[in-house]
């Protein structure tokens, strides 16, 4: 089937070429990081995780959100989702792949990565995360591919795909819950040490992931003349709006608990991110941009008259993805390290090398997504 990705228009090849250039840039930056060490990034003793782990966190959410099309289609027989379900599954595959690449990029000794499996440590949340992420990638890849293959032959999918797809539903929740537990179980990182982190991760994932999915359907409509359907989109828009609302509700509860209780440790990270702490305020404009675009986007998605218009829908989805990307893909991880355990406030600024590696990994993910979707669309449109 994969050979279908080898036939394409000039625009398709230009896109692939662009991605390959970005991947090359990323690989050369990574080679530099490998030879000089992680010191070439902006991370340091006090802020010991940066863009890589933040992107990982955001992308686990994108991967998990495939469940928002799989669940209604397979469990509730929502026929409107028949065309979009494969897009969701393949988006999950590429997002899960990017997650693993980001973890690898963040490791000081990537050549020893198999130690995680050689010395399985069930008390470590990383162990579980590696398990569930790999599992999720393969469940989605195998089930999506098998269903597509069956469709190409014009036969119903093999009976074993169904339990696999059902399994992917709780599995999607598990990947993001375990990812939240990576953070939420660490004592004395007060921004993360909260029971609402896992629900909030799920809510923001379902908001941003579905918004991203809507945007992808628009892109596919434009560049591949493949329309997943207006109905699917508007249903997803509603899901995204409610998930976004839940996300901001959870954020609000964090603020209430921290500021009403007035416990300094609980307030400090939020202060640093949203208002600035002792003169350090590098994220303040970004965080407010995130909150405002997020709230406006949710508002637009909530209004039926607005979300029915493509332009409004595109704008609102872009806004929501951006908002959650800033919140989760930047603020949450870095804010958690401020102040440091010794009450120091250290600022973090990613370096060019770090950003190039990040861009390279995104390009790898997009390339995989492009190839998978190209195949899927070729099958669906019987080219």
Residue 14 or 36 having the CB closest to another protein: 36
CB of 128 to another protein, least distance (A): 9
Q: Min. distance of Cβ 324 from another protein in angstroms?
A: 22
Rank residues 183 and 272 by Cβ distance to another protein and give the closer one: 183
- Residue 42 CB, shortest distance to another protein, in Å, is 8
**Residue 39 or 156 having the CB closest to another protein:** 39
Q: How far is the CB of 190 from another protein (least distance, A)?
A: 10
Write out the DSSP string of 320-381. Answer: HHHHHHHIIIIIHHHHTTSS-TTS--------HHHHHHHHHHHHHHHHHHHHHHHHHHHHHT
**What contacts 145, CB < 8 A, 6 or more positions away?**
1
Sign for the CA dihedral angle at 302, 303, 309, 312 comes to negative
Nearer to another protein, 14 or 346 (CB): 346
Q: Which is closer to another protein, CB of 120 or CB of 252?
A: 120
Write down the least CB distance from residue 333 to another protein, Å.
10
Distances (CA, A) of 368 to 76, 364, 372: 29, 6, 6
Q: Which residues bind another protein (CB under 8 A)?
A: 36-39, 42-49, 103, 106-110, 112-113, 115-116, 118-127, 130, 182-183, 185-189, 265, 336-337, 340-344, 346
CA–CA distance, 234 with 368 (Å, rounded to integer): 27
Comparing CA positions, the residue from 234, 210, 235, 313 lying closest to residue 76 is 235
Comparing C-alpha atoms, which of 316, 328, 329, 330 is closest to residue 282?
330
Per DSSP, the three-state class of 263 is coil
CB of 155 to another protein, least distance (A): 30
Cβ atoms 126, 99 nearer than 8 A: no
Minimum CB distance to another protein, residue 195 (Å): 17
Q: Burial level of 344, CB count in 10 A (0-12/13-18/19+)? A: exposed
- Within 8 A by CB and 6+ apart from 211, the residues are 240, 244, 297, 316, 317, 318, 320, 321
Q: Which is nearer to another protein, 89 or 354 (CB)?
A: 354
Q: Considering beta carbons, is residue 167 or 265 the nearer one to another protein? A: 265
Cα-based angle 41, 61, 330 (whole degrees, multiple of 5): 35
């Amino acid at each position: 089937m994969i050979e279908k990705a080898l036939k394409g228009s000039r625009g398709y090849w230009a896109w692939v070429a662009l991605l390959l250039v970005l991947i090359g840039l990323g690989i050369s930056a990574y080679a530099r990081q490998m030879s000089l060490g992680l010191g070439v990034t902006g991370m340091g003793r006090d802020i010991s995780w940066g863009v890589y782990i933040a992107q990982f966190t955001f992308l686990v959410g994108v991967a998990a959100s495939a469940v928002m099309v799989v669940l209604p289609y397979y469990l509730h027989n929502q026929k409107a989702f028949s065309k979009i379900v494969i897009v969701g599954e393949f988006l999950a595959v590429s997002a899960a792949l990017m997650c693993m690449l980001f973890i690898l990029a963040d490791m000081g000794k990537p050549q020893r990565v198999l130690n995680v499996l050689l010395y399985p440590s069930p008390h470590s949340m990383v162990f579980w995360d590696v398990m569930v992420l790999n599992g999720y990638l393969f469940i989605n890849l195998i089930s999506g591919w098998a269903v597509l293959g069956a469709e190409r032959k014009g036969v119903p999918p093999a009976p074993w795909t169904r339990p696999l797809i059902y399994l992917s539903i709780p599995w999607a929740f598990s990947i993001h819950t375990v990812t939240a537990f990576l953070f939420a179980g660490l004592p004395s990182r007060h921004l993360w040490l909260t029971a609402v982190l896992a629900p909030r991760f799920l809510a923001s994932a379902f908001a941003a992931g579905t918004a991203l999915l809507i945007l992808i359907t628009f892109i596919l409509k434009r560049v591949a003349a493949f329309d997943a359907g207006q109905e699917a989109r508007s249903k997803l828009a509603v899901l995204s709006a409610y998930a976004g609302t839940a996300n901001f509700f959870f954020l609000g509860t964090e603020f209430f608990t921290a500021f009403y209780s007035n416990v300094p440790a609980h307030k400090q990270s939020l202060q640093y991110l949203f208002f600035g702490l002792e003169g350090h305020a590098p994220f303040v404009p970004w965080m407010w941009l995130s909150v405002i675009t997020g709230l406006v986007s949710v508002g637009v998605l909530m209004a039926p008259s607005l979300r029915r218009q493509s332009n409004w829908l595109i704008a609102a989805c872009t806004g929501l993805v951006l908002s959650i990307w800033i919140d989760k893909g930047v603020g949450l991880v870095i804010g958690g390290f401020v102040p440091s355990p010794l009450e120091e406030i250290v600022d973090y600024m990613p370096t060019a090398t770090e950003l190039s590696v990040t861009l390279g990994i995104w390009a790898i993910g997009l390339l995989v997504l492009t190839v998978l979707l190209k195949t899927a669309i070729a099958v669906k449109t019987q080219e």
